[in-house]
Structure 1
């Protein structure tokens, strides 16, 4: 006899898994923010490790700190950064081209589990990197970048991750936009066909990790900005997958 309860469980299993992944990543993001907020020395120790102090030209300001982040003007870093910044745009074009091709080929039946994953990737990029990171957090968090704080040759006070008490007025440090782009690139590994996950997935993973690391090493962001920005893209991508799976499950149940 056909067991409807078994069929229902199997049909909803992907929704449960995707929702669990989202909730786990969401909880991890807040846990890391809690750690960075209450232990700001983590950010300071990492930033100091890539900062070289130099004698100040003037001693008019008491306790003034002068110096440079040695890799900030490294030509190799600048070239690598330019290349990595172009990758998300290339990925967007490829994903949109695949979706258009699928729609033209299959018509009303173009929506599949695979194409929905591509849609989730584009939605997560727009919401995560576009809206949450670059439009909201970087505009209103107020956290100065390391090179802008008085601890590293700047003029603004240091504030810990998650504090909105800083005096940065725009394009602030919390969180890293490029790190969030790197996190999004890692999500694309899941969309690759199995035969391409090794030749393309490994380079994508390396680039994904390099992007936030370079921002920390050049004094553009604190470690917390990079880690939380990178992880935020994974959280939003997982959320998009969970929502689409939920909608697909509801459609299947009605049919």
Structure 2
């Protein structure tokens, strides 16, 4: 290809300029806002990946599935088996504890808010109060409303253990496909993984500085282990747990930015 002068045309630099302009605009944003934008775009990219390549979900669940011989009364060519980890009682108790941990911390946030709001004048920590309000609001909006009330009740995606790939009787549908046969409390997306994503943000943003070294590492470990457990249990696909975890982080960061966008850098943290 040549330009009007007959000389070879140089490759267009417009795509590079767009990327540079985009990164420049992100760099000009407050950190929380930039993180929200980047993670929001990432969420949709991850969803698109799992929708286009549904075999990744099936392969990830299959790694935790153990086939068994079908009963004589089972349908011909049916797949029978279990997710062995789901039979472990000790892990079951651990899962129950992790399930209720975000709720317990939500109640603890309310207590901390009452303490903060009981102060007046020079001892009142307005920035701390706004961060706590952001944490409580994000727990309600993210794992509460977005995940458990909206998506899990209307996505219709059967859980792995309910599909014909893993001993169930329902057909598999990819992430983002709302045409499945699940009636309620469905697989897309994981409520417990959403709670784990919120736990991660709590550990990073809401644990008081003087307690971070003690409490943040175990909270982060739990926040990373819980989604893996849901996958291993056959309760959710890989896409369900990744997207749920990310969704709560996005809601938390967006809510925190909304509540603290007028604060100056370096807030007091109890």
TM bin (shorter chain): 0.7 to 0.9
Q: Name 1:99's counterpart in structure 2.
A: 113
Does residue 243 in structure 1 map to residue 258 in structure 2?
A: yes
Find the residue that maps to 2:119 and give its secondary structure: helix
- Give the Cα separation in 2 of the matches to 1:88 and 1:212: 14
Deviation at 1:54, TM superposition (A): 1.0
Aligned length: 237
Q: What is residue 198 of structure 1 aligned with on the other side?
A: 213
Q: How does 1:1-255 map to 2 (within 5 A)?
A: 16-58=30-72, 61-106=75-120, 110=124, 112-189=126-203, 190-246=205-261
Q: Tell me how far 1:60 sits from its aligned partner.
A: 5.8
- Work out whether residues 18 and 245 of structure 1, in 8 Å CA contact, stay in contact via their aligned partners in 2: no
SS for the counterpart of 1:198 is: helix
Q: Tell me, which stretches of 5 or more residues in structure 1 are unaligned?
A: 1-12, 250-255
Q: How far apart, CA to CA, are the structure 1 residues paired with 2:189 and 2:121?
A: 40
| Separation (CA, whole Å) in 2 of partners of 1:106 and 1:213 | 45
- Higher normalized helix content (fraction of residues): 1
SS class of match (1:163): coil
Q: Kindly tell me: are residues 110 and 195 of structure 1, through their superposed partners in 2, closer, same or farther at Cα, counting changes over 3 Å?
A: closer
Q: Which has the larger radius of gyration?
A: 2
Consecutive unaligned residues in structure 2, runs of 5 or more: 1-26, 265-270
Secondary structure of the residue aligned to 2:30 is: helix
Following the alignment from structure 2 to structure 1, what is the Cα–Cα distance between the partners of residues 108 and 245? 22
| Offset of residue 86 of structure 1 | 2.2
Q: Structure 2 length as normaliser, TM-score?
A: 0.83
Question: What displacement does 1:111 show?
Answer: 5.7
CA gap 1:94/1:15 in 2 versus in 1, 3 angstroms = farther
Distance in 2 of aligned mates of 1:115 and 1:29? 29
State TM-score, norm by structure 1: 0.88
Which structure ranks higher in relative contact order (CA pairs < 8 Å, sequence separation ≥ 6)?
1
Shift of 1:15: 6.7
Name the stretch that deviates more: 170-179 or 70-79.
70-79
**CA gap 1:60/1:92 in 2 versus in 1, 3 angstroms:** closer
Q: Which residue of 2 aligns with 1:7?
A: none
Cα offset for 1:83? 1.3
Q: Distance in 2 between matches of 1:209 and 1:195?
A: 23
1:109 deviation in Å? 8.1
